[in-house]
A and B are shown apart, each in its own frame.
Chain A
Amino acid sequence: MEVDRADGRNPNQLRPLACSCSILHRAHGSASWSQGFRFIQTSHFYHFNLFVFTSKCYFCYWVGSGDTKVLAAVYGPKAGTKKNENPEKASIEVIWKPRTGQIGKPEKEYEIILKRTLQSICILTINPNTTTSVIIQVVHDDGALLPCAINAACAALVDAGIPMKHLAVAICCCSAESGYCILDPTKLEEQKMKGFAYLVFPNSILSVLPEGSSLVQGEPMEHGIITSVTHGAMSVDDYFHCLERGRAASAKLSDFLRRSLQSKLPGDLSKAE
């Protein structure tokens, strides 16, 4: 049953996450999101023990394992929308910058998926006839690139103060031959596995409503899929298995996202009183 992973993680374990907001001076909102690290980067070091699935710390294994890191910048809302966009709604444009070279078909596809995903979490009716640009710069790619970019874009939108219905957390699940699944694969694992799914869920929210009132079709809101993209063939059961694992992980991810957003906001904004 056990699958050994090159970096010593257990199947449900994500790579260490790091998120910092407001890192670009000129952008209206910006964030970097990284999963794993190649070398110890002191600026991100303090994040690393925020998020381990098990109580044991696998830090020593991670040194030398791959990382995926994405920078996201948000500009806007700016006046006017492009042709073919509905001027009664705010429009979102996504520009994907690969690490090297020109953008091709895969990047175009990423742009569209990201755009549709962000459109569904933002409230587009508040600033009609405006365009918000989201620029994604890939810093390093070692698997689960699109989920990493979605997380970064989401944090950057929050940083820019774009009105949003809820946040989104993205995760990559791999399904192996034996119907067995691992989370947050590296690039090598992505290629080796039978199939993988990029899943995006709403974050888990704090709610003052009585327990159970926010259930939709018998499931909590955060179990609904915002975006699902799969590669490779898998059985339907495997997919549902991935879904289940992804949901469990998304709860932890949204905890992390909430904590990093909280740490970004100065707690003493109006201590002066």
Chain B
Amino acid sequence: MEAKPSTANLVDKIVVPGDVVLDLSSMTNQTIKLGGGLRQECDSVSVIKAGKLRFSKPNKYWVESSQKRYVPCVEDTVLGIVVDCKADNFFVDIRGPTIAFLPVLAFEGGTRRNIPKFEIGSLLYVRVVKANPGMNPELSCTDASGKAAEFGLLKDGYMFETSTGLSRMLLSSPTCPVLEELGKQLSFEIAVGLNGRVWVNAESPSTVVLVSNAIMNSESLSAVQQKIMVDKLLQRIK
């Protein structure tokens, strides 16, 4: 059998459900923060989703994984599609288990008098403000201070769906290599939701097609491979 694992050498390794990654009884007087994919069970922390165990100093642990389905989480920014308009709420599909509610007042300076109008099928860039089990998640089109920020309707452009892992990669900082390389040569607008939806807009349709293809191809590539792939695509349109 292999040597007894310790938390330090499990970090950045792939773990599967059931693995116990932290022993709390040996960590008294420490505060730790658990992210997605981990669960506390008495004195131990075990994994509930397969993925890579990540640790960020000083005390955050989470499991990074990639799915086709999105599970809403507070403060995530997502791309939602309006499916229905009711008096109090817009019903928005955010690829989660249930439809999310966007209250009609959750806009900058929102009052009963000026309720925004969205057609069914319009794409919104929104923020998740409530995500409790057993309840529909609640969205907002403002940032925490009540400003519109960049939230709201996304006009024109092209939206496609990817995995949650890819969208997280696109949002990571520093900017991921695909976007960096594309950005050097092309000008385009992009909005990435943590729910795996990506929206791209540019002057010419060919740019939109190229950018979206580059992103969809980049899922399983390393940084260097991504650069090569983007270069090849760019050469083709020249």
Contact = CB atoms under 8 A, between A and B. Distances in A.
B58 interface: no
24 contacts: A29-B68, A29-B69, A123-B39, A123-B48, A128-B134, A161-B69, A163-B49, A164-B17, A164-B48, A165-B48, A166-B17, A205-B20, A206-B21, A208-B10, A208-B44, A258-B16, A262-B14, A265-B50, A265-B66, A267-B52, A268-B220, A272-B169, A272-B176, A272-B177
A206 B48 contact: no
Contacts of A134: none
A270 B14 CA distance: 13
Contacts of A32: none
Interface in B144-198: 165, 168-169, 172, 174, 176-177
B222 A211 contact: no
B67 A167 contact: no
A77 B98 CA distance: 9
Contacts, number: 135
Interface residues of B, number: 47
A208 B97 contact: no
B64 interface: yes
Contacts of B168: 270
- 9 tightest Cβ-Cβ pairs between the two chains A and B: A166-B18, A161-B67, A164-B17, A207-B20, A77-B97, A163-B48, A79-B98, A205-B18, A128-B134
Given A79-B98, A208-B5, A272-B174, A158 B50 contact: yes
Interface in A126-143: 126-130
B19 A205 contact: yes
Contacts of A20: none
Interface string A259-273: 001100111111111
A183 interface: no
B103 interface: no
A166 B99 CA distance: 29
Contacts of B66: 265-266, 269
Contacts of B69: 28-29, 76-77, 160-161
